[in-house]
Chain A
Amino acid sequence: MTTKLFGEPVRRREDARLVSGEGRFLDDLGQQALAAAFVRSPHAHARITSIDVDAALEVAGLVAIYTWEDLPAGVAEPLPLLIPHPALTHGRTAYPLARDIVRHVGEPIVMVVARDRYLAEDICSLIEIGYEYFKPVVGLEEAVSSTHLVHQDVPGNVGAHLVQEVPSAGGQSAAEAIAAAPHTLAFRLDIERSACMPLEGKGVYARWDADDESLRVYSSTQTSTSVRMAIAAKLGLPLPKVEVIAPDVGGGFGVKIVHPWPEEVLVPWAARLLNQEIKWTEDRREHFISSAHERAQIQHVQVGFDDAGRVLGLSVEILHDHGAYTPYGIIVPIITSTQLLGPYRIGAYRVEFSSIYTNTVQVTPYRGAGRPQGVFCMERTMDKIAQKLGLDRADVRAANFIQPDQFPYDQGLIFQDGRPLIYDSGDYPESLRKLKDLIGWDEFPALRESARAEGRRLGIGLGCYVEGTGVGPYEGGHIQITSDGRVHVSTGLTSQGQGHETVFAQIAATELGVPIERVSVVTGDTRRFGYAVGTFASRAAVMSGNAIALACRKVREKALRVAADALEADPRDLEITDGVVHVVGSPAASIPLATVAVLSNPLRYAFDEEAKRATQFATTGSMDRPPVAEGEEPGLEGKGYYSPIRSTFASGMHAAIVETDPETAEIRILRYAVVHDCGKMINPMLVEGQIHGGVAQGVGGALYEKMVYDEHGQLLNASFMDFLMPYATEIPHIETDHLETPSPLNPLGIKGAGEAGVIPVSAVIAAAIEDAEGFPIDRMPISPSDLYDLRLRSPR
């Protein structure tokens, strides 16, 4: 029996510290550090004409005030454009402190360092900045038609424009296929802005060690390795002199993958300059107005289909609002336009997007990263087709599904990783069957009727999605088994609550045959592992999980070699169970892994009893061979890297039953069902948790969350009081069922699960409300007042 932990609902190893208040989040560190605070622009578009710090200089406890003028060459440059793309012809990024022009409310202008945060904020309020105002550009259609420009050198406020087109099998273009189709529809969809809004904001804490001339930075980031490289480059420090650590991180959901944030450069720079520890923690208003948002799009859809509802041609034009800057390139609209296709075979497809500048907070990926918009588009399309033809909505989807025997399935597009959009595996008809069973799709009409008899209005909706997960380029894992028999696992990517300490320990324990209690996992600490990409795009389990498995296999093989020597056995006859290497079938011939670890490291000096066994007069090794054979390394440790040829595609389908109040238009989700396929599950309990979390954010996006900008570019709801998010009262019980279609692309057969839950929710809720009300729902979110207004305009 080997230790079987892969696939089990193992309880989380992170939990003990979190339920007792012993987690170490960014702001829990550096209690003695100086505090940084920022003066941020109160205007959406203006030129800075003066900065007067005289009054501020009088305050006792002030340490330093910095403006753009004070920054050295590397730091003073605009922040990097992280993901260039040929279609992003007019990419622009911000300066860490505004140089001249501010382009959204919240842009940082002055950094203050003081004894504590209270003082630092006092000082900020004494700094007077003069502005010359410009007319801000707010709203997508306004931006396109406006003569005012967010960046003077970007005509029409268009940052990027991209067209992708896939002709039908018969060579027809989408336009031709639509023109020739027996039925057509054309409509517009609107999706509002939302934001990741992790409960812990961003934060940076930096310590300069003058004796060692090195910098240690803690950041609440989704990518410590990339922050490290950015800091070293900006500050002109040798890479080995900079270490970046992501401590416990209180949620990320995308916003913390962007880097370096201005503060991630400025705080370490000032810490080094002042030779003092400095910490900055973002407050909630700062998070609203100066981090990142997502979602906002306007979509114009044209579709042609046959009598069975099969899509013959689909053409989508997308206006995507990317705010004032484009540090993350055009990843979000690329994902929207490619993942829009979902589990379907479309005759001919054309998608065109324009990514537009506005004087608002920049737009970068938020959990789902453009997929919720794409799925909203496709699923609304499916529902409209069903409505037009009088067909069952599930049947129309089934008629368009890619079939299980059609994998790998090439959609003919280029995905966000620059590689072809080829689905590796899936079973969509089976998912739909399970979903219909779970929610009671076929029984719903009866339910609706009996509710109607009581004066209640019920509706049902469903939505399907396919999600490219586990994007490259790579991740790595390092395994070390020490002479006490403990297994130390590290990987460079970071954790924000996904439970990586648990799932990676499950993988290592399973691969190595050791009890999980002996395994410890470190993530996001560049002192332990320097090569990594980061945690985003539902990639951690796929990427680091496989890398760790590969590293374990190497180490296991070596352990068996060393043990075989000691046991005078053939390595092929050995197995590891419960941390002990033994000969299969004769358990007496065995040696603990701890001892194998000792023997693998030939010693001159003994530091304890165990170590004596590896010293030169104790070992029985051959006198004809060097103690460390050629090509070998001392110790029981190894690294593995996993670099996929392309993404692996998870999928799922959700359904909901909602009730709308005939009087108040209040919308209640009565039931919510999820069928999910992320390949082989490492830990079903944690997959479930990820799905629940995603659905909760999806419900927020469907019913509550939007960023309300006025025409001056002021964000009117920049607080938790005004930006509504779901609490326990808004989230229904969630029923789940799973399919496990393994990925053929990676050794563990897994696919990502982190974002899945959020993706189809808006589409599903819209469908259910539409079903209850009998008129089209073409925008999200939809509040009770929105629904009330729609009722007035759409007589039933």
Chain B
Amino acid sequence: MADIRMRVNGSIEKLDVEPRVSLLDALREHLGLTGTKKGCDQGACGACTVLADGERIVSCLALAVQYADRDITTIEGVTSPLQRSFVRHDGFQCGYCTSGQICSAVGMLTEHAAGAPSAVTGDLATMEIELTAEEIRERMSGNLCRCGAYNGIVAAIEEGIR
């Protein structure tokens, strides 16, 4: 067992977990933060996305012990205008992907603000990449929504950045 500490949604949490426990399971099962979802446990759907020091990660592919002393934000700790725009634009149906979509979108906006290009960015030198619908789709392409609410999600993010 490993004794670790982690700042989760602003408060310091102590965890006593086996080294093999994923960050996702640590959050859900050890800290009772069930807002983060498990869609595949294989790093391919984004339902488990959380923010580690502001950067989006898939928590199912992370071990809790790797994130000792880091600052984790889960959906329970997110307050973003994006949440309201997801509602306004019907950016979900069952809501199972939604925590991950919102955390991912928050992280994506931070990356964009830092000037990170994406696979569809034309001019890689510029710091002023316009977040077009195409850019948003590409940057959100790690998050599966089997209910197919993608157009609502893109519209919600477009509104969120205005």
Contact = CB atoms under 8 A, between A and B. Distances in A.
Given A284-B41, A733-B151, A250 B141 contact: no
A18 B151 contact: no
A694 B143 CA distance: 18
The 3 tightest CB contacts between A and B, nearest first, are A21-B35, A696-B148, A497-B94
Given A31-B32, A728-B136, A721 B150 contact: no
- Report which residue of A12, A248, A728 has the largest number of chain B beta carbons within 10 angstroms of its beta carbon: A728
B93 A498 contact: yes
B29 A199 contact: no
B88 to A, nearest CB: 7
Nearest to B85: A19
The prevalent SS among residues of B at the interface is loop
B70 interface: no
A719 B47 CA distance: 15
Interface string A226-262: 0000000000000000000000111101000000000
B37 A200 contact: yes
A200 B137 contact: no
Contact of B42 (A16, A22, A284, A694): A284
Contacts of B76: 20-21
A592 B150 CA distance: 44
Contacts of B64: none
Q: What is the size category of the interface that chain B forms with chain A?
A: 35 or more
A725 B150 CA distance: 13
Task: Provide the main secondary structure of the chain A interface.
Answer: loop
Contacts of B116: none
Nearest to A685: B90
A635 interface: no
Contacts of A733: 133, 151
Contact of A696 (B94, B96, B150): B150
B143 A727 contact: yes
A726 interface: yes
Nearest to A722: B44
Most A CB within 10 A of own CB, among B28, B38, B84, B99: B38
Interface residues of A, number: 57
Contact of A200 (B33, B39, B87): B39
Interface of A: 11-12, 14-23, 25, 27-28, 31, 116, 118, 197-200, 248-251, 253, 281, 283-284, 496-499, 685-686, 688-690, 692-697, 719-721, 725-729, 731, 733-734, 757
Contact of A250 (B37, B86, B140): B37
A284 B39 CA distance: 7
B150 A727 contact: yes
A251 B42 contact: no
Contacts of A499: 93
B74 interface: yes
Given A199-B94, A697-B148, A728-B136, A21 B74 contact: yes
B12 interface: no
B136 A31 contact: no
Contacts of A16: 87
A218 to B, nearest CB: 14
Contact of B144 (A12, A281, A725): A725
B149 A692 contact: yes
Given A21-B34, A720-B42, 19 more contacts: A15-B87, A18-B98, A19-B102, A20-B75, A22-B35, A23-B95, A28-B34, A116-B29, A198-B146, A251-B147, A497-B95, A498-B93, A686-B90, A689-B147, A694-B148, A695-B148, A719-B42, A725-B144, A728-B141
23 contacts: A19-B84, A19-B95, A19-B98, A20-B35, A21-B78, A25-B34, A28-B34, A116-B29, A118-B18, A199-B45, A199-B97, A248-B94, A253-B146, A283-B41, A284-B39, A497-B96, A688-B90, A693-B147, A719-B44, A720-B144, A727-B150, A729-B141, A731-B148
Contact of B38 (A14, A27, A197, A686): A27
A690 B47 CA distance: 21
Nearest to B153: A728
Interface in B92-149: 92-99, 102, 133, 136-138, 140-149
B152 interface: yes
Contacts of B63: none
B40 interface: yes
Contacts of A284: 39-42
B8 interface: no
Contacts of A12: 87, 90
B21 interface: yes
B38, B94, B140 — most chain A CB neighbours (10 Å): B94
A689 B93 CA distance: 8
A283 B25 CA distance: 13
Nearest to A252: B94
Contacts of B47: 199
Contacts of B75: 20-21
A21 B38 CA distance: 13
Given A20-B35, A689-B90, A725 B143 contact: no
Which of A14, A17, A199, A731 is most buried by chain B, counting CB atoms within 10 A of its CB?
A199
Contacts of A27: 28, 34, 38
A757 B40 CA distance: 25
A728 B90 contact: no
B45 A720 contact: yes
Contacts of B153: 728
Contact of A727 (B34, B36, B87, B141): B141
A203 to B, nearest CB: 11
Contact of B140 (A690, A728, A734): A728
